Amino acid sequence: MSESLEDKTVVIVGAGPGFGRTLALRAAERGATVVVAARTASRLDGIVDEVRAAGGRAIAAAVDATEPESVRALRETVAQHTDAVHGLVYSAFAVPSMKPLAQTDHEQISRGIDLSVLGALRATQEFTPLLEAGGAQGDETQGDGAHRSPSSVVMMASAVIHHSRERYAGYKIAKTALVALGHSLATELGPRGIRVNTVAPGYIYGDTLRAYFEHLATKYGGTVEDVYEHTAAKMDLRRLPSEREIVDPVLFLLSDAASAVTGQTLTVDCGEFHT
């Protein structure tokens, strides 16, 4: 089975400037038409321009995953361009409260669940007919008796699901619920030719995390390298994964190479947690 995404349409909900941008560029490199969707339209235009400049195909569409009408409008926009979707990646993100539960307002937790969990459900529900059509295109039996890949949904969770540090409690609640959602959707949608998996990244070393490390270095003294080394000491590989190292497992799950993989959670964290 190939990891190519040639002739596939992949929708990325929550396509931000870091992970989302890298995913869009890498998916387009592998032949996919990418639909990048997020609330900030100006960021989307920049991603689309980069994809097209590299010879790829991309479409931008604004969406607010907390609004059912907005998610429906996104699906209608995509349906104007294609009658089948082969991959849906849900990576909408908001900065969590970073407070112990005793100090966290219930509304903050509700907003996190709405965006992370219900937003993923809204997107999957809306795109199910198009995803089913994408899976149906791969229903033929090959000469070796194997089947082509069904369509694929990948939801971005977090390695926070593996620990209970108190400042991450509200975030853990939302991301753990997202994993449970993925399990249930995998069971429900499997017979319709749709696979559902989650990816749980640890730290992602890109511009955002680097800026945070700069803040910590200024606050506590030392250098960014000191903060990096202190953080990486917890990892088996003694380093942090890059954006591309998070993106590549997602591309695998979107591809025919993962045609029998569904209902799984893949942790990508350079060995901080063993799952």
Mean per-residue pLDDT over the chain, rounded: 92
Task: Considering only residues 220 and 149, tell me which one the structure prediction assigns the higher pLDDT.
Answer: 220
Tokens 């993989």 found at: 261
Read off the pLDDT band of 214 (50, 70, 90).
very high
**Parallel, antiparallel, or unpaired: how do β-strands 9-13 and 194-201 relate?**
unpaired
Q: What is the pLDDT of residues 12-48, one digit of tens each?
A: 999 988 899 999 999 999 999 999 999 988 889 999 9
Dihedral of alpha carbons 104, 108, 112, 113, sign: positive
Is the per-residue pLDDT at 196 higher than 60?
yes
Phi/psi of residue 199, nearest 5 degrees: -120, 130
Read off the pLDDT band of 93 (50, 70, 90).
confident
Q: What is the pLDDT of residues 137-183, one digit of tens each?
A: 654 554 555 566 799 999 999 999 999 988 889 999 999 999 999 99
Task: Considering only residues 98 and 261, tell me which one the structure prediction assigns the higher pLDDT.
Answer: 261
pLDDT for the residue 136 = 79
**CA 254 to each of CA 20, 189, 207, 233: distance values in angstroms, whole numbers, following the listed order:** 14, 15, 25, 32
pLDDT for the residue 1 = 55
Read off the pLDDT band of 197 (50, 70, 90).
very high
